[in-house]
Structure 1
Amino acid sequence: MKNSQITLRGSTALFALVLAGATAATPAFAQTTPTPTPSTTVPATQDNSSQDEGTIVVTGSMFQSAAGAATPSPVTVVTAENLDKRGISTVQDAIQSLASNNGPALTNSFSANGAFAAGASAVSLRGLSTNSTLVLFDGLRAAYYPLADDGSRNFVDLNTIPDDIIERIEVLRDGASSTYGADAIAGVVNIITKKEVKGFSARAEAGISDRGDAPSYRLTASAGTGDLDEDGYNAYLSGFWYKSEALMNKDRAYPYNSDDQTGICFEGHCGGTAVRNNISPSTGQVVLSTGANFMVRPYDITNTTTPAGSRYQNLSGCGIGTLVNLTAAQQTATSPSSVCQYDATNLWGTITPNIERFGVSGRVTARLGDTIEAYAEVNFMQSSVDYTGFPATIYGTAPTGIYGPTFSTSSNTVPPRAAGSGILALPVYVCPRANGASATMVNGVPTVPGCTAANGTLNPNNPFAAAGQVARLIGMDTSEVTYNATRNRAYRGALGITGNLSDNITFNVGATAMHTDLRRTQDGYVYIQHLLDVIADGTYNFRNPSATPQSVRDYLTPVNVVNASSEQFQFQASLSAAVVDLPGGPLQIGVGGSIRYEGVDAPSGNSDINGPTQRYFTLNAFGTSGNRTISSAFAELDAPITEWIGLNASGRYDRYSSGQDAFSPKVGLKVTPIKQLVLRGTYSRGFRIPSFGEANALPTTGYVTPSSSAFTNAYLAQYGAACTVANFAAGCPAYVKQSYGLTTLASPNLKPEKSRSFTAGAIFEPMRGISFTVDYYNIKKTGAITSPDTGSALQAYYAGTAIDPTIRVIADAPDINNPTAKPRVAFIESTLINADTINSEGLDFTASADVKVTEGFRISTSLEASYILKLSTIVAGHEERYDGTLGNFNLTAGSGTPKWHGSWLTTFDFGSLQLNGTVNYFGGYNLSAMDQGDDYKDCGSSLGITPCDVSSYVTFDMSVRYKVNDKFSIYGVMNNVFDRMPPIDPVTYGANNYNPVQGGQGILGRYLKAGVRVNF
């Protein structure tokens, strides 16, 4: 196993030589009107209003200020040129790389690993989840993605932002509810598009890993006419196309490509294996799996008693699996003499899905006199994501649905969810289903009503039918895999007019309308009633599934197509005036109002409203629908009291048609004791409205992996002497360690979350071109929407003690290898409540320098890093701390919250030749999570086969750009130069043996891109 490789492979070495002799592209965008280029600490233009070249509008403010002036709130600005230098091709990749983005971010790779919001990408500032970061498009809100993150959190999909017209990305690292309203608790990401394009510009780019896989392609073109200053107008049209192909687990080295963890060892402790029908390392005997080929075992006609000495036997062949003949010692009392083994991750696992995106944008901007400017813009974006998954489940439980089963209030547990009572078995007789009648379950045996020996035939799939015995069935059709696809189309239009009514009075009016259409297509999933039907009438060939008529296979796994949509309409207007001159400058007062409509309609594709058999195995029942209108009024005051003291205050009142309201104040202070030093700070209050997913949704189930701390030795003893808490990884069967579902029920009675935040920082510029900043932030959310403490319910079930009466624990189907053992937990079901207090505090650092070495040669460098001091939740008076650990599972699904995240970019600019290098750093974390019953950093979730602390992850990127002439330039990029693979993490959910958020694009390995740009 090799996590880093410094020696360049042959193809990489050749590419490096090409880079050394190549020239770099200038920024990969069409020519734009020059605008001030702010540093990472200086705010930039908020919208597309007309500005004097020396003034800008700060994100989070209504007022213009001098370009380069510091503000009370910390702001990070990422320009299009910055992205080119770092070799970043898409907006979503750029935002995911932000130092302040941490914890429960949603990446595209999650789309291939069971994400609720498949096909989307979202940012999570400060580790506070995707619903506490507000994403704006030119200062205006965008429509939510129709699907919610983890089935509850609304967010804006970063994939709906067009890559080709981005001028810069501004990140307000401070609460901004006083300006924008809900969702801006952790900060604001404002994506600014180009106001003006002149001439024609185009780009072509292609990339591939040095292993020859995961190719990507990018094309952009922009054309514009008119000059705002000379002609009084500009109009442009721009389009782009981007595609990246899927990467499979089998295309990466061990252990990312396997379910076998026996090669992952630490201090003499090695992992077990989840290979289907594997040989247990601890017992040396086979562990039969329901996820392999079909196997059957005889039972009497009541499906309750098996003949003495009976065993499972293979009903179907191995398909693409491996036939293993078992020795006598490897067999159990019920196993066959040979089994088919499958390493499912190696055969079917997907790391990243297929992604294809394209879009078209058009804009017209016109000067209406000397001081007024108006614009109109339209955008269309389509994002398509698809991947193939594992074979469909035949035997198993389905996620709990809308109308969950009744449960015992004395034990707070419910029996296993199954298609009827008993364990699924093949009948003795099969009969045609007259007029398409549905089969029913009798003692776990699918039966055509009225089917008897007199009118039926012996079941050809049941080898025990002649003896009058049913055949209990386990396994799946390994020749057919599941398929998931999303296609999201976003339509957006925006209008605006801004300018000066007089020397002292300015106005800004803007309106936007955005609509998204999402189509979800899922194929290969077994519909439960149809499974009963094809078993009862004998039309499905379980002995040779590939010989089953296609019509029957299609009936068993009907294509599920669901259409969802979301909308956002907004109109806002503001007026500001300089009313009096103070010693430090004019006192400015601004007022404004806004009205917007937002709605989501995402019906369930797998409702169990008609009963548990009228749905699919493993597909979530998620669905939500709702809309609301929000009326808002806001005001701001900016008072430069003296030349070295400035005060800013703002407030906003929001009223929701759903009955909630909130007032959000904010005050900021800036002190400049000397020219080289600025001290700043803010205090604000904000709120987050309950999402449609939290208030209106159907139940949703997310899956997490239990740690050893969830179990007791007494419970585990029923699975063998070697299965103990201390030997959990290697000694316990895969069945016990399988993930369980956390089912969340929405509540219309939720109240808004409230927040209090403050920042304090300093900007130090000892000399021109060199600057340093440090900012402290502290955010406190009260009434945070969460599930009750499900970790205690999990422990109580396995300990046999009382369970919180507000939580339902649902047992799994019995283990086929230990049918008399108490089943493990399949689902924990709970209703969302306003209960927690969440605290997030940390430090942000930046450092930058731009030095002219000689005529025609400059060196610039910039570093940005964020450090989480503490991220914790107060639950029922008890503090659970998550920074530097896997938690909070409610927010991250176990993807963790590393303390550090940062990057360092250095550029050597020789004029026509530019060399860039970027160091990317993502901190490590401890394998523990207090909301899963662990103590803080106690290694409680570790399997014992890796160190307690997952190591930090460092990668290095380089790019070379060369400008051949004013019209032609070429460039090359090498990401992850030293081919470092992500640190091994066998615990984190969402990827196989690594963390998909920390690992990011690093799992691709060394990645090479080259491109060309023309400009006329």
Structure 2
Amino acid sequence: MAMIRSEPNRKSKSFLRLSSASTFAMATFLAIPSPISAQQSPVPPAGTDAAPAKEADASTEIVVTGSRIARRDYVASSPIVTQNQESIEATGRVNIESAMNQLPQFVPAEGETSNPLGGGGRATLDLRGLGPSRTLVLLDGRRLPTSSAFNVVDVNIIPNALVESVEVISGGASAVYGSDAIAGVVNFKTRKRMNGIELDAQSGISDKGDAAQYNASITAGTSFANGRGSIMASGSYTRRDELLGRDRRFYDLAVPSGNFPGSVVNFGANRPSQAVVDRVFGSYGVAAGSVPTTSILSFNDDGTLLARVNGINSKLGAGYGLAAGSLVQYSAAENTIVSAQDRYSGFGRASFDVSPNITAYAQVLYTFSRSENATNYPTFIPNGTAPTTNPFIPQDLRTILASRAQPNAPFIIGKRFVETPKRYYVNPFHEFQALAGIRGNLGSDTTFDIYASHGRTTINEELTSAVQLSRVQELLNAPDGGRSICAGGYNPFGVANSLATSAACVDYITTPLFSRTVVDQDVIEGSVSGKLFKLPAGDIRYSLSAGYRKNRYDFRPDVLFAPIPGRTNADLANTQPSFPTSGSTSVKEIAGELLVPVLKDSFVAESLNLSLGYRYSKYQYGGGVSTYKAEADWTIRPGFLLRGGFEHAIRAPNVGELFSAPTGVQVTIGVAPTSGDPCDSRYTNRTTAIRTLCLATGFPAGALDGFVNSANVVSTTVTGNKDLQPEVAETYTAGVVLSPKFSHPLFAHLTLSVDYYNISVDKAISVLPASSVINKCFNLDGSNPNYDPSNIFCSLMQRDRLSGSLTNINTPYFNLGGFKTSGIDIQFDARWNLSDLGIAENAGTLTLNTVATRLSKFEVQLLRDQPVQDFAGTIGNGFFPRWRALTSLTYARGGFSIGGRWRHYASLKNSTSVTAPASPSAGTVSYDVFDLVTRARVTSHIEFRGGINNVADQSPLIVGGQAGTTDASVYDIIGRSFYLGAKVTF
């Protein structure tokens, strides 16, 4: 099914249209529970009357994420936070990553607001800001298929309708689950059995009538063969409408990448006569000397010239303005700020008791997800040239060109291709996994589980309208201006002329591009667990497992992505070169865990347990490595638990890091005067030493004075490295859980948990960020105090030989330095029965829940011999607030409840306060968003839910000091929005 793109001002049509007034009226009568709960807490999720999971029947053993050993007491040595299905629904979002990212342990990664230049469409999770490749995502304790060469899981594949709860353990878990679990594990637990049919639907829309989201699902299940077998299936459809920058006033003044005002002319070192420039601009009434010969010139629609610096003689009007003293086009209106998505999901599971002690099971899941991202209009990068014979050259420009030292030489021309269709990156994902296995009981409390799975992700990415630079150059060089090639020829001089380009010429210079990615994953794993022998404090329990896993990756880009021979760029505007890439990795593993009860019912402890784990992994690349853990939980007395542990974890290099062929990626570096290229004449601290270094590293001497960098992005070339070694991490946790038992009803249901975490990663696998290469070459962080042009970081940069613009930065994968982060997680739960407080009979309950994180440090060391930089409390190069909290207060009575949620982020400095402390960009103030969430259980079979997100319509904050620039994954760009959902069971 093809996706329908949103028209500029078209209001979204939903199957349930909501107006502000009607939604608010409905919301006041509906209800919702609290978003989170700790597994150790005896307080049930806020807004519910159910007992907590801990208080399940004592005969039931439960497997908690972070261990393969089932325990009856449901107490984990590591801090675990749980979300249930109702709490996910409470966010009003139809994509699960948006709900999870509201927890303070997560830093937003790819999702609905990410808009990369290609490769989008995924939804990923990132614990502690250590990266999605260091966060392991599981479904019922088993690995999901990966969606890229970098072993990241696209959580779009998870069947939302079947998710019963989500358990999050933040901190290393490699000893239990293997590689990729350095930051922790997110385990989605699904319902195991179902008898009946469940229909669920939800619709949401902003108060501006756009940003609509819809979701509908049907789930059915039944038992057969007298209860020996069961089968369950679920299907769902999700739709998310596109939101463009033009739909939000915040983006009116945003400066996009490649900010040419239509088209520009750069003279480079072949400069014109100052007298001639003065005479031409003097005819416009501009004072002599106002436009130096180093100026970049552009064009008004009447054919007159303008100077880009300070916008002298600009007549371009709306849509253009000054940024850092330079005229730019505010084309962010054409960018996607919330990507459109259509998603179809299917899930099936069956099990059958072959005998009283053996059960065979199988499941299959398939998701088709198609997203679209628009990224304004491409620009002519690297700069092209036009000959003086071009017939479309305006007369005033021709006069200036004739005064150059070499009057007949071609001149540099830059261009924004406003005449072409807007670029859409279309990303259809086909994700599939089939799994089958047997589990059973071997007697003497010994159980086993053996399964095999195969997963495949196929991505057929399309770039709808790429511009071929060679064809543009052909038209520019044609003596007749290209009239003999396409109707009317090609006039690039000015916006009006560009927009008048014929359809034939547009078709001649543009082409769609198609690339295909296939990622396969095969897993075979078996485990056995049970009791070894009995100690005075209880049974020693164990778990043993062994497994084999293989990942394969194959990438086939369009042939036009190949670089031009002898150049670093492809024959495409704003599109980076790529090569075919393929490779595979495999690992064989054995692992074991022990749960040792040390004390029970003694005078020093109600219980004291020790948990030990070890895993040996033999990687095809990286060799043999060991991971291990030691954890303890000590219940001193009922309601007073101490816990903590240590884990030595690893992350093996993935297929992408090992085998990536040279691949072009565009990254943002910012613009002068506080960021971007230090060779820019507007750069605040362009000292004599920096100027000398610019010349020594390839900048053309005649072009340096007056140089203005024309784009805030730079091309980088990423390459794989087969010599990579596994990352090594060490995690420490220590915490206390207080759940005192007081007789007074005011204090009867209180729980407080405080947990310290410390995660350090050594030999981190990464590419050098382009901005870091620039900062280190030009000594902005003290890395090159002698301004040595032979510095390793300077050698990674390449410049255009005519204009001096940065054309490429090489960024290969290396085992670089590392990360170190630490902080404190705090959770407080309270519930009050208002009847017990004497208010009235059947007065209902009031629940309060707060989960917060205090970040102490987030240290990054790019190279082992480089200084350590602490990004805690900054935004720009990540999102690392000192304080982040999510709080809910809910009133419930019977089947009805209503509550409020408060999301809080502390104020932040800009990351340039760390990377370029001499000239940092502006930071952000604290940010608070309030939501109203409600639910009503009308009958035992019918339930409604609804809410208002961002009730106060809090605007996003400016990040980096530039108007219209924010972090859309952090700050709310949609604004006030409403949702309404219903669930019916049969």
CA distance in 2, matches of 1:609, 1:119: 29
Residue 396 of structure 1: which of 372, 375, 381 is its match? 381
CA distance in 1, matches of 2:43, 2:505: 63
2:524 maps to 1:571: yes
| Map of 1:890 onto structure 2 | none
1:514 is displaced (CA, Å) by: 0.9
Q: Summarize the Cα distance change of 1:296–1:622 in structure 2 as closer, same or farther, 3 Å threshold.
A: closer
Matches within 5 A, 1:17-96: 17-20=25-28, 22-24=29-31, 54-66=60-72, 69-96=74-101
Residue 160 of structure 1: which of 157, 160, 163 is its match? 157
Q: Summarize the Cα distance change of 1:475–1:487 in structure 2 as closer, same or farther, 3 Å threshold.
A: same
2:175 maps to 1:188: no
2:127 alignment partner AA: L
| Map of 2:490 onto structure 1 | 542
Residue 145 of structure 1: which of 133, 147, 151 is its match? 147
CA distance in 2, matches of 1:551, 1:593: 62
| Map of 2:287 onto structure 1 | none
Q: Deviations over 1:472-518 (max 9, x none)?
A: 54433313221211010101112232231103211112222110111
Q: Summarize the Cα distance change of 1:558–1:741 in structure 2 as closer, same or farther, 3 Å threshold.
A: closer
CA distance in 1, matches of 2:216, 2:443: 45
Q: Summarize the Cα distance change of 1:426–1:107 in structure 2 as closer, same or farther, 3 Å threshold.
A: same
| Map of 2:587 onto structure 1 | 630
Q: Say whether the 8 Å CA contact 1:590–1:635 is kept in structure 2.
A: yes
CA distance in 2, matches of 1:955, 1:716: 41
Q: Deviations over 1:679-718 (max 9, x none)?
A: 1111110111122222211244322225756699997379
* TM-score calculated relative to the size of structure 1: 0.77
CA distance in 1, matches of 2:932, 2:831: 19
What SS does the corresponding residue of 2:815 show, helix, strand or coil? strand
1:25 is displaced (CA, Å) by: 8.1
1:997 is displaced (CA, Å) by: 3.1
What SS does the corresponding residue of 1:558 show, helix, strand or coil? strand
2:864 maps to 1:908: no
CA distance in 1, matches of 2:533, 2:193: 34
Residue 608 of structure 1: which of 531, 554, 563 is its match? 563
1:595 is displaced (CA, Å) by: 0.6
Q: Deviations over 1:264-298 (max 9, x none)?
A: xxxxxxxxxx599xxxxxxxxxxxx9723346799
Aligned CA RMSD, in angstroms, stands at 4.1
User: Which runs of 5 or more structure 2 residues have no equivalent in the other structure?
Assistant: 1-17, 36-41, 285-297, 321-328, 492-496, 601-606, 691-704, 742-747, 836-841
Q: Say whether the 8 Å CA contact 2:763–2:816 is kept in structure 1.
A: yes
User: Which runs of 5 or more structure 1 residues have no equivalent in the other structure?
Assistant: 1-9, 29-35, 148-152, 260-273, 277-288, 315-320, 398-417, 430-458, 726-730, 888-892, 943-947
CA distance in 2, matches of 1:368, 1:858: 46
Q: Deviations over 1:368-414 (max 9, x none)?
A: 44444332111110111103221222x322xxxxxxxxxxxxxxxxx
Q: Say whether the 8 Å CA contact 2:516–2:557 is kept in structure 1.
A: no
2:823 maps to 1:858: no
Deviates more, 1:853-862 or 1:642-651: 853-862
What SS does the corresponding residue of 2:249 show, helix, strand or coil? coil
| Map of 2:228 onto structure 1 | 232
Q: Deviations over 1:839-884 (max 9, x none)?
A: 1111111111233323372222222112211111234444433333
Q: Summarize the Cα distance change of 1:518–1:850 in structure 2 as closer, same or farther, 3 Å threshold.
A: same
2:551 maps to 1:554: no
| Map of 2:109 onto structure 1 | 105
2:972 maps to 1:1011: no
Q: Say whether the 8 Å CA contact 1:38–1:77 is kept in structure 2.
A: no
1:189 is displaced (CA, Å) by: 0.7
CA distance in 2, matches of 1:303, 1:99: 56
Deviates more, 1:596-605 or 1:791-800: 791-800
Q: Say whether the 8 Å CA contact 1:235–1:363 is kept in structure 2.
A: yes
1:645 is displaced (CA, Å) by: 1.1
Q: Summarize the Cα distance change of 1:913–1:133 in structure 2 as closer, same or farther, 3 Å threshold.
A: same
1:179 is displaced (CA, Å) by: 1.0
2:377 maps to 1:377: no
| Map of 1:663 onto structure 2 | 626
What SS does the corresponding residue of 1:70 show, helix, strand or coil? coil
| Map of 1:953 onto structure 2 | 927
Residue 309 of structure 1: which of 273, 276, 282 is its match? 276
Q: Summarize the Cα distance change of 1:39–1:808 in structure 2 as closer, same or farther, 3 Å threshold.
A: farther
| Map of 2:210 onto structure 1 | 213
| Map of 1:281 onto structure 2 | none
1:793 alignment partner AA: C
Q: Summarize the Cα distance change of 1:26–1:197 in structure 2 as closer, same or farther, 3 Å threshold.
A: farther
1:428 is displaced (CA, Å) by: 2.9
Q: Deviations over 1:905-964 (max 9, x none)?
A: 232221121213211122332113476343xxx7x431xxxxx43122211111221122
CA distance in 1, matches of 2:562, 2:759: 38
2:872 maps to 1:898: no
What SS does the corresponding residue of 1:974 show, helix, strand or coil? strand
| Map of 2:294 onto structure 1 | none
Residue 257 of structure 1: which of 231, 238, 252 is its match? 252
Q: Deviations over 1:12-39 (max 9, x none)?
A: 344222222x4458999xxxxxxx9977
1:753 is displaced (CA, Å) by: 0.8
| Map of 1:762 onto structure 2 | 736
| Map of 2:753 onto structure 1 | 773
Q: Say whether the 8 Å CA contact 2:886–2:904 is kept in structure 1.
A: yes
| Map of 2:416 onto structure 1 | 476
Identity %, equivalent residues: 22
2:598 maps to 1:594: no
1:96 is displaced (CA, Å) by: 1.7
Q: Deviations over 1:550-609 (max 9, x none)?
A: 454233111001010111111111112212112222111221100111122223442316
1:591 alignment partner AA: L
Residue 619 of structure 1: which of 554, 575, 597 is its match? 575
2:197 maps to 1:200: yes
1:915 alignment partner AA: I
Residue 808 of structure 1: which of 783, 795, 798 is its match? 795
Matches within 5 A, 1:274-353: 291-294=260-263, 309=276, 338-339=315-316, 342=320, 343-345=329-331, 347-353=333-339
| Map of 1:3 onto structure 2 | none
Q: Summarize the Cα distance change of 1:601–1:769 in structure 2 as closer, same or farther, 3 Å threshold.
A: farther
Q: Deviations over 1:138-169 (max 9, x none)?
A: 2111222226xxxxx54111222222211111
Q: Say whether the 8 Å CA contact 2:859–2:872 is kept in structure 1.
A: no
Q: Deviations over 1:779-805 (max 9, x none)?
A: 111111234552211448999643423
Matches within 5 A, 1:713-724: 716=681
Q: Say whether the 8 Å CA contact 2:129–2:879 is kept in structure 1.
A: no
Q: Say whether the 8 Å CA contact 2:671–2:677 is kept in structure 1.
A: no
Question: What is the count of residue pairs matched by the alignment?
Answer: 866
Q: Say whether the 8 Å CA contact 2:570–2:577 is kept in structure 1.
A: no
Q: Say whether the 8 Å CA contact 1:807–1:830 is kept in structure 2.
A: no
| Map of 1:993 onto structure 2 | 965
Deviates more, 1:378-387 or 1:847-856: 847-856
Q: Summarize the Cα distance change of 1:109–1:749 in structure 2 as closer, same or farther, 3 Å threshold.
A: same
Q: Say whether the 8 Å CA contact 1:24–1:969 is kept in structure 2.
A: no
Matches within 5 A, 1:678-689: 678-689=641-652
Q: Say whether the 8 Å CA contact 2:628–2:648 is kept in structure 1.
A: yes
Q: Summarize the Cα distance change of 1:715–1:652 in structure 2 as closer, same or farther, 3 Å threshold.
A: same
CA distance in 2, matches of 1:640, 1:963: 43
Q: Deviations over 1:742-783 (max 9, x none)?
A: 544332211111111111111111136321111111111111
CA distance in 1, matches of 2:308, 2:749: 73
CA distance in 1, matches of 2:307, 2:522: 65
CA distance in 2, matches of 1:307, 1:717: 21
Q: Say whether the 8 Å CA contact 1:44–1:56 is kept in structure 2.
A: no
CA distance in 1, matches of 2:613, 2:259: 60
